[in-house]
Amino acid sequence: MQRRHLMIAAAGSWIAPAFAHHGWSSFDTDHPIYLEGQAASVRWRNPHVELELDVKPDLKLPADLAKLPLPAQSAQVDGPAVLKKTVLPTRRDKRWTLELAPLTRMEAWRVKEIKPGATLAVIGYTSAGEKGDAVLRVEYLFVDQQAYGLRSSPA
């Protein structure tokens, strides 16, 4: 009897994280959003790196946004089309939660660990219509004058 309970508990420990984690499907990938600011806090861990971003009060789209060089990813992502569609968020939250990639992908891109206070910019996706919490799933990360594509590994 104890063995059965132990097996059920062990199986449940594998199932619970799958329910807690969500993929790209819950985000509106047709409406990319641009954010820029400073990292307030960083959780450098799996299932993906998360950080709280304090958005610049005078947030504007960079004039050269459509011309930014983007790295090739192993997934089929049309980077120029993403840049062309990118807009500022309609909501005016001062702090956003950013969901980046899993640690293995961050390592594949050779992203140095982001520390609180770091300045960065991102392009990513919210839930449909920017409803719910101010959460952005990051497609492109711009930090230390380097661009990283976080949907997949480097091509």
pLDDT of residue 130: 75
Amino acid at 104: T
- Residue 114, CA atoms < 13 Å, CB-side half-sphere: 32
Mean pLDDT (the chain, rounded): 86
Distances (CA, A) of 18 to 7, 15, 47, 75: 18, 5, 10, 22
**Strand 50-55 relative to strand 33-43, pairing:** antiparallel
- Residue 125, CA atoms < 13 Å, CB-side half-sphere: 16
| Spatial contact of 34 and 55, defined as CB atoms under 8 Å apart | no
| Spatial contact of 52 and 95, defined as CB atoms under 8 Å apart | yes
Task: Please state the pTM of the whole predicted model.
Answer: 0.82
pLDDT of residue 132: 81
pLDDT of residue 90: 92
pLDDT, tens digit, for every residue of 104-124?
Answer: 999 999 999 999 999 999 999
Q: How far apart are CA 112 and CA 107, in angstroms?
A: 8
pLDDT, tens digit, for every residue of 6-58?
Answer: 444 444 444 333 334 445 556 789 999 999 999 999 999 999 999 999 999 99
- The CATH homologous superfamily for domain 24-149 is Nucleic acid-binding proteins (2.40.50.140)
- Residue 75 zone, left/alpha/beta (φ > 0; ψ -120 to 50; rest): beta
Q: How many residues does the chain have?
A: 155
pLDDT of residue 2: 55
Scan for tokens 């001062």, then name that residue.
Answer: 94
Q: Which residues of 12-49 are buried (b: 16+ CB within 10 A; e: fewer)?
A: eeeeeeeeeeeeeeebeeebbbbbbbebeebeeeeebb
Domain ranges of the chain: 24-149
